[in-house]
């Protein structure tokens, strides 16, 4: 069992928890995720690691209630415990693998949309710890949907808040903020965009126009975290990939977002799963040996 040390609602059905999970905290890196179950009969829910404390053996998670499973998670309180807390899963951020001197030469921009602020935070924090500054754009529908502002401000070199309705910070979507920063004279070698799939799609379209290489963190349906279920199958640069084992980060200019969004919608029904299994054949899951998802 994995005890919950702290649990609170941040805003508008978005929840924050600190969980005791020593082995995960000891081994995780920014960009990775975990899969949780509240009890032995609960569904598996993938959640990005928002923060970790190796000394305390704790993991911080932030999630939004979008269905019955996440609603059940939101009802847990400090003192309760998760039945399963599996991780770290997925590949760490590419930044963690780069030589430090090379990394220090990069001018980095992060773009966070909504709950995507949670997985952006540990990457920016890790970079700051390495002495690498990074600018951050955080976008939200309105001020009431904004999360983790103080935490992000403590690690970002420059933090730009933008709201769709102009109720706080700059006015407009994150794509407008990207273009505005470039117009103001900012230059970036790489952009990392994390948020709703539609937001990442348009961020990638914007940065491609601006010739800024872009990384996105894909969040399709995941079930087992091993590539075997076929839920998180993607096409990246014409090749089949699985977000849970090959990602979750990919080249945003190569991801087929339209296919990913359509597929995620289809996969949510039993009939849809069977349809995709039949249509995709041997490449439906990552254990086929044909697509790389089993490596």
Residue 35 forms beta bridges with which residues?
Answer: 46, 86
Q: What is the pTM of this model?
A: 0.86
Q: What is the pLDDT of residue 229?
A: 66
CB contact at 8 A, 213 and 191: yes
Is it true that domain 2-89 has CATH number 3.20.20.70? no
Check residue 293 and give its pLDDT: 44
Cα distances from 194 to residues 58, 202, 251, 280, in angstroms, run 23, 11, 12, 27
Sorted by where each begins, the domain ranges of the chain are 2-89, 94-217, 218-295
Residue 283: closest CA among 294, 274, 272: 294
Question: Could you give phi then psi for residue 246, rounded to 5 degrees?
Answer: -85, -20
**pLDDT of the residue at 227:** 62
94-217: CATH class? alpha beta
38 preceded by cis ω (within 30°)?
A: no
For residues 92 and 122, the answer to whether their CB atoms sit within 8 Å is: no
The predicted pLDDT at position 292 comes to 47
CA pair distance 295, 290, nearest whole angstrom: 10
Per residue of the chain (295 residues), give pLDDT as tens.
Answer: 899 999 999 988 899 999 999 999 999 999 999 999 888 888 888 899 999 999 999 999 999 988 888 888 899 999 999 999 999 999 999 999 999 999 999 999 999 998 999 999 999 999 999 999 999 999 999 999 999 999 999 999 999 999 999 999 999 999 999 999 999 999 999 999 999 999 999 999 999 999 999 999 987 566 666 666 667 778 899 888 888 888 899 999 999 988 888 876 665 554 544 444 554 555 555 544 444 444 4
């Amino acid at each position: 069992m994995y005890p919950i040390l702290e649990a609170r609602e941040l805003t508008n059905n978005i929840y924050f928890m600190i969980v005791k999970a020593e082995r995960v905290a000891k081994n995780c890196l920014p960009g990775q995720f975990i899969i949780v179950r509240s009890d032995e009969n609960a569904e598996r829910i993938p959640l990005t690691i928002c923060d970790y404390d190796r000394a305390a053996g704790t993991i911080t998670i932030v999630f939004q209630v979008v269905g019955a499973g996440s609603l059940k998670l939101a009802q847990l309180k400090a003192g309760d415990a998760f039945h399963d807390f599996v991780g770290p899963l997925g590949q760490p951020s590419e930044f963690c693998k780069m030589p430090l001197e090379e990394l220090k030469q990069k001018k980095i921009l992060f773009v966070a949309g909504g709950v995507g602020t949670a997985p952006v935070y540990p990457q920016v924090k890790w970079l700051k710890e390495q002495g690498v500054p990074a600018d951050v754009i955080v976008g939200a529908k309105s001020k009431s949907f904004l999360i983790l502002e103080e935490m992000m401000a403590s690690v970002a070199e420059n933090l730009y808040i933008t709201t769709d309705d102009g109720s706080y910070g700059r006015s407009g979507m994150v794509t407008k903020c990207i273009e505005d920063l470039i117009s103001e004279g900012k230059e970036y070698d790489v952009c990392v965009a994390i948020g709703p799939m539609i937001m990442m799609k348009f961020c990638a379209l914007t940065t491609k126009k601006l010739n800024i290489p872009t990384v996105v963190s894909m969040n399709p349906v995941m079930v087992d975290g091993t590539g075997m279920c076929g839920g998180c199958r993607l096409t990246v640069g014409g090749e089949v990939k699985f977000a849970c084992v090959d990602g979750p980060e990919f080249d945003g200019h190569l991801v087929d977002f339209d296919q990913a969004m359509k597929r995620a919608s289809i996969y949510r029904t039993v009939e849809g799963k069977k349809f995709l299994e039949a249509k995709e054949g041997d490449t439906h899951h990552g254990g086929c040996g044909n697509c790389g998802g089993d490596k």
